[in-house]
Amino acid sequence: MYETFYVLDLDRTLFDTVKAIELMKGVIKRHDGDLASRLEQRFEDYSISGESFSMRDFIAERVNDDEMAVIEAEYKKTADEQDLLNPGAIELLSYIRAANGVGCGILTFGSDLGQKMKIDAVPQLHDVPFLVTKQTHKGAQIAGWRGDDGRYNLPKELGGGVADTIVFVDDKPFSFDGILDDCRGYLVKSVFDAGVDILPPTVVLVDSLYEVLSAERGLIDKP
């Protein structure tokens, strides 16, 4: 049982999606320069609209299985030498791991293989359970975990167990739709800020994960 469980988004929250795309473009360029340019254009199109984009699916639809395996292996090898986490992510994860009665998991929208590839490329995330969802309104999904006793029954993909309090961190305003009043939320500023003015009252707008860490230390580490 957890006193507090952190539900963390992946893309643009924990994960530096822009840097990862640049890394993948470099890998693809060595195989197919035209495909690298198409990948860049598609990512720009999706960024403008604020939609999620699976770079793995985009590539896999345009190469054969053997080529995809080579690209994934090269991407992972290159990513192991990079820091693909956003500022404050390592510090927040370290704090959660060290705190008593506290746990965390990743709730991410996208394709199963695409999101797994991103997580596999970051050693600091290998021990963090994750759930790939098809629901964009994650707040409502999290609300569905709440039992009649007021506690949250965590999905098996996030390790199972029960949590008294949920803290949800994401970069899209609509992700918080349906979140319950007993959850704490943090919206991390990103390229997609439309809807910031209609956030639920329990959701705080922050510039980075460092602000999340600072706020949570003040709430949890009370004497």
Q: Are residues 67 and 143 in the same domain?
A: no
Q: Are residues 69 and 30 in the same domain?
A: yes
pLDDT in tens, 93-152: 999 999 999 999 999 998 998 899 899 989 999 999 999 999 999 999 999 999 999 999
pLDDT at 106: 98
Q: Are residues 200 and 103 in the same domain?
A: yes
Q: Are residues 110 and 195 in the same domain?
A: yes
Q: Are residues 120 and 187 in the same domain?
A: yes
Its domain, for residue 91, covers 2-15+84-220
Q: Are residues 210 and 136 in the same domain?
A: yes
The domain total for the chain is: 2
- Beta 130-133 vs 2-8: how paired, if at all? unpaired
Q: Are residues 164 and 94 in the same domain?
A: yes
CATH code at position 199: 3.40.50.1000
Q: Are residues 139 and 155 in the same domain?
A: yes
Q: Are residues 147 and 208 in the same domain?
A: yes
* Assessment of whether the complete model's pTM goes beyond 0.85: yes
Q: Are residues 88 and 190 in the same domain?
A: yes
